[in-house]
Chain A
Amino acid sequence: MKRKLLSPILILAALGVAFSAQAHDPKEHMKDAENPNCAAMKDMDHSKMDMNDPVMQAMMKQCMKDMHNDDGDHSMGHEDASEDDHKKDSDEQHSEHQH
Chain B
Amino acid sequence: MPTLTAFIKSLFIATVIGLVGAGLFIYSGVYPIGADVPHNKLSYWLLETLRERSVARAASDIQIPNDLNTSDRLLAGGADYNDMCAGCHLKPGKTASDFTIGLYPTPPNLTATSDDHGHEHGGDSDDGDSNDVAVQRQFWIIKHGIKASGMPAWGPTHSDERIWNMVAFLQRLPSLSPDQYQILTARGNTSDSHDH
A residues near B (Cβ < 8 Å) are 20, 23-24, 26, 29-30, 33-38, 40-41, 43-44, 54-55, 57-59, 61-63, 65-66, 69-70, 87-88, 90-91, 94, 96-99
For the complex, give the distance between the alpha carbons of A54 and B78 in Å. 12
Is B79 engaged at the interface, CB distance under 8 Å to the other chain? Answer: yes
Asked whether, in the complex, the Cβ of A34 is within 8 Å of the Cβ of B186, the reply is yes
Q: Which of B83-129 contact A (CB under 8 A)?
A: 83-84
A–B pairs, 20, beta carbons within 8 Å: A20-B157, A29-B83, A29-B187, A30-B187, A33-B186, A34-B187, A36-B182, A36-B184, A37-B186, A41-B179, A55-B176, A58-B75, A58-B184, A59-B180, A61-B72, A61-B194, A69-B189, A88-B188, A91-B189, A99-B80
Among A62, A70, A94, the residue within 8 A (CB) of B75 is A62
Looking at chain A's contact residues, the main secondary structure is helix
Among A44, A61, A98, the residue within 8 A (CB) of B195 is A98
A to B contact number (C-beta, < 8 Å): 119
Minimum CB–CB distance from B195 to chain A (whole Å) comes to 5
Asked whether, in the complex, the Cβ of B191 is within 8 Å of the Cβ of A41, the reply is no
For the complex, give the distance between the alpha carbons of A59 and B159 in Å. 24
B residues near A (Cβ < 8 Å) are 69-76, 78-80, 83-84, 156-159, 161-162, 165, 172, 175-177, 179-180, 182-184, 186-196
For the complex, give the distance between the alpha carbons of A65 and B79 in Å. 15
With both beta carbons as reference points, the residue of chain B lying nearest to A37 in the complex is identified as B182
CB-defined contacts of B84 to chain A, threshold 8 Å: 24
With both beta carbons as reference points, the residue of chain B lying nearest to A57 in the complex is identified as B71
Asked whether, in the complex, the Cβ of B74 is within 8 Å of the Cβ of A26, the reply is no
CB-defined contacts of A20 to chain B, threshold 8 Å: 156-157
Asked whether, in the complex, the Cβ of A99 is within 8 Å of the Cβ of B196, the reply is yes
- Find the residue from B80, B190, B192, B195 having the highest chain A CB count within 10 A: B190
Minimum CB–CB distance from B80 to chain A (whole Å) comes to 7
